[in-house]
Amino acid sequence: MMLRYFIRPFACPRIKLARGLSFSKEVPLIVEPEGYSHLLGSVVPLDVSWHMPNASRDSRAEFKKRRIPRARFMSLDEVAGEHPLSLPHMMPSPSLFATTCKRLGISPGTHVVLYDTIGVFSSPRALFMFKAFGHKKVSIMNGGMPNWEYASLPVDERVFEPVDYPEPELSTNWLRNYEDMKVNATAAPSESNNHELVLDARAAPRFHGTAPEPRPGLPSGHIPYSISLPFDILLETVTTGNGSQFTRLRNTKELYEIIARAIGSDAPLQPGSKVRIVNTCGSGMTAAIIWLALQRLGVNSALYDESWMGYAARPESIIATTT
């Protein structure tokens, strides 16, 4: 099957984002290291670093060496639900989520600040998880641990005690499953009222089917009628004085322009839009970066939890390419 998407020229209108944002000043969606440091005594920083299997990095070991003061560590592969295809880091059960939070000294009223050691990579996925379970006070650190160190802020170690975290309720409307995606794969947006706008965070060559998937045995390509939106174009790379680099989320104007250009319209980004959006990627990790960018613009969206690993592994799946 061959699908081609034609994107018309896009002229960004004057953007008024404040109206679409509902995040309180007390609990911002994104915090900068300099603005966060004075809150050290009232929030819980949580290292949620995750790396691709071929990265040869040990997140837990790195956490033990250096971390933000009072930080705890949460493994997204360990806090994960069981899946019939044995896929990693799927959404956990409410019980597992609550038990993990108790162990980490996090209560439902705790303001949690999530960060990772790449900059912005796995922290949006963790933010999505907390939000889906109804945890109100949660933010991410823009630029993560590298940005913290870039700002010359201190690292520290401290012992913490477990607290109570009652089992929450998972907001299932935040997630999509395979049956939901089959609907999107069999009808064009103009032909079905049930169709959702599907944004794919993988690299464009994998989306188009011109480059192999990093996971053996999986074909490349994409869900029919989905749109390529590689997660890395939503991020900017900062180079420090010693030559190291980290990523951080772009500003709202840039995010608006990038997403609207990829979609071919700014309609889904407007207040009151009825267009439903679902994000996908390779394994459900970087799809949360698109989700975060949309949240930054005041746009709600869902996440296809199993993503391409689950979709492409099923022989009955319809796979589109542009080759």
Do 155 and 183 have their domain in common? no
As a whole number, mean pLDDT of residues 236-251 equals 94
- Average pLDDT over the chain, rounded to whole? 86
65 within a domain of the structure (yes/no): yes
The verdict on residue 200 lying in a domain is yes
Q: Residue 323 falls within a domain, yes or no?
A: no
Q: How far apart are CA 287 and CA 307, in angstroms?
A: 8
Please say which residue of 139, 171, 203 terminates a domain: 171
Q: Give the percent of the chain with pLDDT over 70.
A: 87
Predicted local confidence at residue 158, as pLDDT: 63
144, 171, 198: which is the final residue of a domain? 171
Average pLDDT rounded to a whole number, residues 91-118: 94
Residue 318 lies in a domain: no
Q: How many distinct structural domains can be found in the chain?
A: 2
Whether the pLDDT of residue 25 is over 60: the answer is no
Sequence-ordered alpha helix ranges (H) in 166-319: 178-186, 204-208, 252-263, 287-296, 307-311
Domain co-membership, 162 together with 215: no
Instruction: Using pLDDT thresholds of 50, 70 and 90, give the confidence band for residue 159.
Output: low
List residues with catalytic annotation. 281
Contact between 113 and 31 under an 8 Å Cβ cutoff? The reply is: yes
Residue 43 lies in a domain: yes
Tell whether pTM > 0.85: no
pLDDT of residue 40: 63
Indicate whether 70 and 87 sit together in one domain.
yes
- Contact (Cβ atoms closer than 8 angstroms) between residue 259 and residue 269: yes
Residue 7 inside a domain? The answer is no
- Cβ distance 35 to 65 under 8 Å? no
| CATH number of the domain encompassing residue 291 | 3.40.250.10
pLDDT tens for residues 200-239?
Answer: 999 999 999 999 999 888 999 999 999 999 999 999 999 9
Do 46 and 77 share a domain, yes or no?
A: yes
Q: Looking at the domain assignment, is residue 92 inside a domain?
A: yes
Last residue of a domain, one of 171, 198, 229: 171
Domain that holds residue 248: 173-311
Distances, alpha carbon 23 to alpha carbons 126, 139, 184, 299, in Å = 18, 10, 31, 12
The whole-number pLDDT of residue 162 equals 72
Q: Given a cut of 60, is residue 11 above it in pLDDT? A: no
* 90 vs 281, more confident: 281
Whether residues 105 and 197 fall in one domain: no
State whether 124 and 100 are in the same domain: yes
